[in-house]
Amino acid sequence: MTVMGIGPGDPRLLTQRGRELLESADLVAGFKTVLDVVAPWTTEAEVCPMSYRDQDAVLDYAAQQARQGKKCVVCAWGDLNVSAKELRERVSQRVDRVELVPGISSVQVACMRSGIYLEEAVFITLHRREDAAGPLEELVHYLKEGRRHVILIPRPFDLMPAAIARQLLDSGLPTGREVIVYQRLSLEGEKSWRGSLAELARQFEDKDFSDLSIMVFMK
């Protein structure tokens, strides 16, 4: 089985290797939004869309097909080393050998748009099932320290940009601390917002932001 990153959403940012894999695959699995991006290259494959609820059953089926000699590809959004641990682990639990094919991450696009270098930044994701207290504590630590930029992936539904801003203010970060929120990077309707934590906390509701949002705090 192969796990591949499909890029940040613009199909032109899919790698050549990724495209070749999709075109020669017998089965392609992934969340529906991910499969929509790569649909032009999966016309010959059995396409298996999955949701959070049925992902185990879909991956069981894909692993069974792989054991029968089928070329099975699981697609991850962006790059597979960036906030995709749960999906990676679900695949490696099922088969002995997994080929990994990287993609362009939304984090790279956020670096490019904001003009920051990854080596001068810390990356934190809240997008995971575990308790968010640890990552939030680290976020506050790095922001107070001020030595690195911080790139942050929010958590859909409960920890989106406005809620994060409120938590940071409660943790003692200054009201004027600047933050940038990028939405739908590389996709139609891409936009960015720049302002203070106080503005973000006061003027916005979390429903105002797309699930595809990344926050950047410049040092």
Ligand X SMILES: C[S@@+](CC[C@H](N)C(=O)[O-])C[C@H]1O[C@@H](n2cnc3c(N)ncnc32)[C@H](O)[C@@H]1O
By CB under 6 A, residue 161 contacts ligand X: no
By CB under 6 A, residue 79 contacts ligand X: yes
SS (H, E, C) the chain: CEEEECECCCHHHCCHHHHHHHHHCCEEEEEHHHHHHHHHHCCCCEEEEECCCCHHHHHHHHHHHHHCCCCEEEEECECCCCCCHHHHHHHHCCCCCCEEECCCCHHHHHHHHHCCCHHHEEEEECCCCCCCHHHHHHHHHHHHHCCCEEEEECECCCECHHHHHHHHHHCCCCCCCEEEEEECCCCCCCEEEEEEHHHHHHHCCHHHCCCCEEEEECC
- One character per residue 189-208, x = contact with ligand X (rule: CB under 6 A): --------------------
- One character per residue 169-188, x = contact with ligand X (rule: CB under 6 A): -------------xxxxxx-
By CB under 6 A, residue 102 contacts ligand X: no
Minimum CB–partner distance for residue 109 and ligand X (Å): 7
By CB under 6 A, residue 212 contacts ligand X: yes
- One character per residue 116-135, x = contact with ligand X (rule: CB under 6 A): -----------x--------
Q: Which residues bind ligand X (CB under 6 A)?
A: 8-9, 76-79, 82-84, 105-107, 127, 153-154, 156, 182-187, 211-214
